[in-house]
Amino acid sequence: MTREGETRVLVVKGTIRAVAGGETVVPRLRLAIRDGSDVEIYSWTAVLARTQLAAGETMAFNSRLAAPPAEGQAVMVRFLRRDDMLAEPR
């Protein structure tokens, strides 16, 4: 967590490694903040600098969220799936 003026900013950094034998398509990332009970309370997506990696290649990522929920305790990062894009029934 850092500050930009009066605003708290959550910075999530990591590295992605292609483990498949050939060229790998890299989808967007889905990041989610979870509370102390492991309940997801906020999520967002991040577009990566590149969409493909060669076998064994790595790529760093960096995502920022201004004013994250104060009750957040953990961040989960995974690749975005097709079903993430579907609206949930009410």
* Boundaries of every domain in the chain: 2-81
The band of 4, judged by pLDDT with boundaries at 50, 70 and 90, is: confident
This prediction's pTM: 0.86
Residues near 62 by beta carbon (within 8 Å), at least 6 away in sequence: 11, 12, 13
Under a CB-based contact definition with an 8 Å cutoff, are residues 28 and 80 in contact?
yes
Q: Which CATH architecture has domain 2-81?
A: Sandwich (2.60)
- Which tens digits make up the pLDDT trace of 8-66? 999 999 999 999 889 999 999 999 999 999 999 999 999 999 999 999 999 999 999 99
The band of 87, judged by pLDDT with boundaries at 50, 70 and 90, is: low
